[in-house]
A and B are shown apart, each in its own frame.
Chain A
Amino acid sequence: MRITTDERTRTASPEPELRTLMLACLAGSDSATQALLTRLSILLRSYFKGRLTRLGRTFADAEDLVQETLISIYTHRHTYDRTQPLTPWAYAIAHYRLVDYLRRTRRSAAALPLDEVPEPFADSDTNATDSGLDLHALISQLNPKMRQAIELVKLQGLSVSEAADRTAMSESAIKVSVHRGLKALAKLVQQRRRA
């Protein structure tokens, strides 16, 4: 039986490429981080749509879950063990976000098996939709230090030292404010989903 190129592409494990990108992301590469999060978003979208459909839910919330998980993956990337495969780590975070979402929306997580084979990202889904969340509106709810740091470093693309020059904050304070701001942003996303 001949295997077509499409089938080969579909069944090929994304692990080697994702792990390479993750290692570059941990080293501080912007382009690798963008490529990693973009590839993960495609896999996560398919994962969440599949799970929500199996639970009898519409997958309108899948994009929100994708975004929540991407923020969690980014803010907790230091917990990734560089000697281990990436997909079980990313899957565990996605699964945690899904269980948390079901708990927040008062649905049972009992239908979700906790122990599954660590090959969760078998399919891809590139059909991104907008979530119901407004990034700028969420950032505006952060405290002034965090908001300013995120706007300068993450939205305007200034370096940490340039951002420190523009504000009365030190470079380490800028770094801490960005990190805490992203975590606060993740909380806000979850609270908006609960509301």
Chain B
Amino acid sequence: MKTEDLITMLSTNVPPTRGREFGGAVLIAIGIGTAVALCFECSMFGTGLEGLGGNQPGLQMGVIALVLTLVAAGLRLLFVSARPGKRGPGALFLIGAVLVVIVLAGLFGLMREPRAGWSAMLSGEPLSDCLICVPVIAVPTLIALFWALRRGAPVYPALSGAAAGLISGAMGVAALALHQPTISFLGAAVLYGAPIVLCALLGAVIGWRLLRW
């Protein structure tokens, strides 16, 4: 095949392109994730936001702010990684900084709380809510984000998949945090941080397999 024949074929009847296809697909994916989260919240926990009325509102607001920061930074990383030639060191730095804060919060909780109370903070209703809420919201969001990513051109598929996993996990945790009052630093770090990291790792593995083009 001559390259000029290929060029002639490609440049015949070229349709105009708005350049918003990928961004639109990501917005649809986030909309699907948000809708799933709201529906699940209302059906499982009602419309009340008990998480904001706990005995540690400052900690709870901090948790929600950190998780929403992860969603925003993950979105930035997703956009950058799926458009060739772009770089996103700022988003990576922000994600790393938030994860460091979560680890430090966990260490602070370990030092602050007596050893005998560790298992109580990580079991019971908070644990069961976490095990149900995060996957139910994260999986549909992850699928929708992968659908969107297939419309982009991710030159680093694992990184794009990790960003999608991070966003979906953080959205699941944000929905949980609105319902479940945070009772301790250790509980917040483990029950909120671990699912986000696991979702990001899962997204990276799936992205490596599915996002090559």
Contacts and interface: CB of A to CB of B under 8 A. Distances in A.
Interface of A: 25-31, 33-34, 37-38, 41, 63, 66-67, 70-72, 74, 76-82, 84-85, 88-93, 95-96, 100, 118, 128, 130-131, 133-135, 138, 150, 153-155, 157-160, 175, 178, 182
B20 to A, nearest CB: 8
B11 A89 contact: no
Contact of B6 (A67, A79, A175): A67
Contacts of B112: none
A174 to B, nearest CB: 10
A70 B85 contact: no
B3 A67 contact: yes
A72 B155 CA distance: 12
Interface of B: 1-22, 82-86, 152-153, 155, 212-213
A70 B153 contact: no
Contacts of B152: 76, 79
A88 B85 CA distance: 5
A153 B84 contact: no
Nearest to A131: B1
A40 B86 CA distance: 19
A79 B10 contact: no
A71 B14 contact: no
A128 B152 CA distance: 30
A22 B52 CA distance: 51
B19 A30 contact: no
A29 B14 contact: yes
B11 A66 contact: no
Contacts of A157: 12-13
Contacts of B20: 78
Nearest to B9: A154
The 7 closest A-B pairs by CB, nearest first: A92-B84, A28-B16, A88-B85, A89-B85, A34-B11, A33-B11, A76-B153
9 contacts: A26-B19, A67-B6, A71-B10, A81-B19, A88-B84, A92-B155, A93-B153, A154-B13, A157-B13
Contact of B10 (A37, A130, A131, A134): A37
Nearest to A88: B85
Given A30-B14, A79-B82, A93 B155 contact: yes
A29 B17 CA distance: 11
A160 B7 contact: no
Given A89-B84, A96-B155, A78 B17 contact: yes
Contacts of B22: 78-79
Contacts of A138: 1
Contacts of B4: 38, 128
A30 B12 contact: yes
B3 A41 contact: yes
Contacts of A31: 11
Contact of B83 (A37, A81, A159): A81
Contact of A92 (B9, B18, B85): B85
Contacts of B12: 30, 153-155, 157
A79 B153 contact: yes
A105 B89 CA distance: 32
B54 to A, nearest CB: 43
A84 B13 contact: no
Contact of B16 (A26, A34, A63, A134): A26
Contacts of B82: 79
A135 B6 contact: yes
Contacts of A74: 10
Contacts of B10: 33, 37, 70-71, 74, 154, 182
